[in-house]
Structure 1
C-alpha cells in the first residue's frame, strides 16, 4: 500500500495581534529595493480599520477583490495579467516576491491561484483537477478574516470554470505562510459567521464518516468537531480563537482524508445557482439525513440555537438543463464519492439519486 505524501503549511503564526508581524514576515522575502509584494484583499476591508493597517511599501501592489461571486477562472486570469503588467512596469518583469491573500476563503483561494499562474503558463481552467500544476508557485501568504473554510490549510483553490467548479489541487497550492489572528474576525455578520463556520463542521462530519478515514485525519477531525460544538452549542469563551483553530484542524483533517456527499452536491448547487460555498453546503447538508444522521441532527440544533433561517425549495423551479448540469458537476467529483461509497461509487451515484437529493433542497 502506498501512502499519500502530502504537504502542509510550513510556517504559521497564531494569536491576537499576529497580523502586526506581517511586514516582518515579508522582509525575509525582500532582497532588494525593487522587490515587490502583491496584496489581494477582500474589498469589504477597504473602508475598515484593517485596510489602513496593510504594510504596503511604495513599490507594492494592492488589489481590492470583488468576491460577490464565487471565484471564477476568468477573474483569476484577469488578475494574473494585471499583476504581470504591474511587474513589467515596476520590477523589470520579475515576479512578486510574495502574494498575500487577506479575507475569507474566496480571497485566499484567489491568492493561491494567482501565485500558481504566475509560474505556470495558460489560464486557470487548464489546472482544475488533481496534481496538474508543474511549477512551484510564487511565495504566498494566507491571512483569514473569517473562520471555517480551511482554505488556510488546504492544498486546493476552488474555482468556477467554464465547464465545472473544481479546485486546482496541488502540493504547490499550499500556502508558504499563514497568519491566524483572531482579532481579525471580530464583527463578522452573523449569517456569514454561521455559514462559513458550518463549512468547517461539515468537513469534519464528512471526513470522520468517510472510507478514507485514518487516525491522522481522525485526530484532527475529532478535535475540530469538539471546538465547533463549543463555539456553536455552548457559547464558549474565546470562541474566535476556537473557531479559527477548528478551521485549521478541519483543513488538516481532509488533507489526509476527503470531504464527501455534501461538498459534491454543493459544487453543483454553486455552479448553477451561484450560492457561496458556506451557505451552499448548509442547504445541501440539511437533506443528507440518510448519509450523516447524527451530524445533520446536530447541525439543525446549531441552526435553531442561532436562529438561522436556511433557504429551502431552492431547486423547485429549475429547468431540465439546469438540473442536468448540477448532476453533471456533482457526479464528476470522483474522490468525494469514493470517500462516501468506496471504489464502487459509480454504481450508487446515479442521476436519479442526485436528482432526488436536489429536489429535496
Structure 2
C-alpha cells in the first residue's frame, strides 16, 4: 500500500451520455474568441466517409485533419510537422479537438502543447518538461479502453524511445463520453482496446503503488470489464458500450494514483521495435504473464476464448537476437513500472535473460 504524494489535475469538464456529441458545437463556442478564433479537429480517418464527419461543428476557418490511426502509434515527427503546418497556415488556433481512439486523442493532447512550446516534441518526452500551457483541447473517445481521455500523458514514439509527454497541462480541458460513438467498433478492436483497460486495472491493483483511491476506481472498472467480456450478457451491446466507456474512464483514473506494470513495460518494447499497436501488444504480452498476474491472465484467457479473438502467437520465431535485446532494453528502462510491480528491489528480482525468455515465448 503506497503513501506517495500526487497532486494531480483532473479533466476540466466531462459531458456523458448518449447524444452528447451533438452538443460539441455549443460546448466549444465560448472558446472561439481565443487566439485566432478557429479550431483544429483531429479525427481518426475511419470516420472520413461516415456520418460522424458530417456532424462536426466546423466553421469557415476551422481545419479538419483526418489522420490514419490504424498503423503505428503517433510519432514525435508527426506532431512537429502538424504543428508547423497549422501555425504557418492559420496562426495559433483557439483549440484542438481529438476524436477517435487513444492515438487520435494523444495526437490532440500533444499538438495542443506543442502549439505553444518551442522546439521538437522529442525534448518534452518525460515528466513535467513542458514549460507553457497548451491551447484549449477536447477529447472525444470513439472506442473504449485506453483511458487516454483522462490521462495526463500523450504517448509518442520518438527516435530513441516510446515515452509520453506527461504533465498537468496534457490533461483535456473537456471530454465528451458518448456511448453512441463506440457502436461501430470492429470486434477485434473492441476486444484489444477493452483489454487495455482491463490490464491497466489488473496491474494497478497488483503492485506497490496501489492505495484506496486507485482501488476504488480500479476494482469497479475491472468489474465492469468482466461484465462486458465474461458475463452472461457479454458482447457488443448498447448497455455494454456504456459500461466499457465508464470502465475506461475509471481505469484511467485508477492509474493516476497507481501505476502500470510488467505487461505495459514489455508492450512498450514490442511497440517501439515493431510498431505494434498498444492494445494488441498488451494482449500478446499479457498472454505470457501468468507467473506475475495469475488471476488476471486466467480471466483474460477465458475472455479470449468466449469471444473467439485471435491473439497472435509464434511471432518470436521471426525475431532476431538484436530485436529481442532492444525490446528488453526498452522494457527494463521503464523502471517506475517495474518498481510498482515488484517493489523497490525489483532489479534483484528480474534478470534481462528472464525478459528475453518471455519475449521468445510470444
What TM-score bracket applies, with the shorter chain setting the length? over 0.9
Give SS of 2:355's match: helix
Partner of 2:164, secondary structure, is: strand
Question: Does 194-203 or 64-73 show the bigger shift?
Answer: 64-73
1:357 counterpart residue number: 358
Do the aligned partners of 1:145 and 1:185 also contact (CA within 8 Å) in 2? Answer: yes
1:202 Cα deviation from its structure 2 partner: 0.2
List structure 1 segments (4+ residues) > 3 angstroms apart after TM superposition: none
Aligned length, in residue pairs = 355
The CA RMSD over aligned residues, in Å, is 1.3
SS at match of 1:249: helix
User: Does residue 343 in structure 1 map to residue 347 in structure 2?
Assistant: no
Counterpart position of 1:101:
98
SS for the counterpart of 1:41 is strand
Q: Following superposition of structure 1 onto structure 2, how do residues 120-131 of structure 1 map, counting pairs within 5 Å?
A: 120-131=117-128
| The 10-residue stretch of structure 1 (173-182 or 318-327) with the greater mean CA deviation from structure 2 | 318-327
The aligned counterpart of 1:38 is 40
Cα deviation for residue 301 of structure 1 reads 0.4
Q: 1:231 aligns with which of 214, 228, 231?
A: 228
Quickly say closer, same or farther: Cα 1:33–1:344, change in 2 above 3 A: closer
Cα separation, 2, equivalents of 1:34 and 1:326: 43
How far apart are residue 32 of structure 1 and its match? Answer: 6.9
Match for residue 12 of structure 1? 14
1:2–1:271 CA distance, 2 compared to 1 (3 A): closer
For the 8 Å contact 1:144–1:180, the answer to whether it is kept is yes
Contact 1:104 1:147 (C-alpha < 8 Å) held by counterparts:
yes
What corresponds to 2:88 in structure 1? 85
List runs of 5+ in structure 1 lacking aligned partners. 88-92
Unaligned ranges ≥5, structure 2 = none
Cα drift, residue 34 of structure 1 = 5.1
Corresponding residue to 1:54 among 53, 56, 81: 56
Structure 1 residues 32, 313: closer, same or farther in 2, change over 3 A?
closer
The answer to whether the Cα contact below 8 Å between 1:154 and 1:252 also exists between their aligned partners in 2 is: yes
Cα distance in 2 between the residues matched to 1:265 and 1:217: 22
1:1-361 mapped onto 2 (5 Å cutoff): 3-31=5-33, 35-67=37-69, 68-87=71-90, 93=91, 95-234=92-231, 235=233, 238-361=239-362
Relative to the length of structure 2, the TM-score reads 0.96
Task: Note the alpha carbon deviations across 1:181-224, whole angstroms, 9 max, x for none.
Answer: 00001111100000000000000000000110000000000100
Contact 1:204/1:253 (8 A) holds in 2:
yes
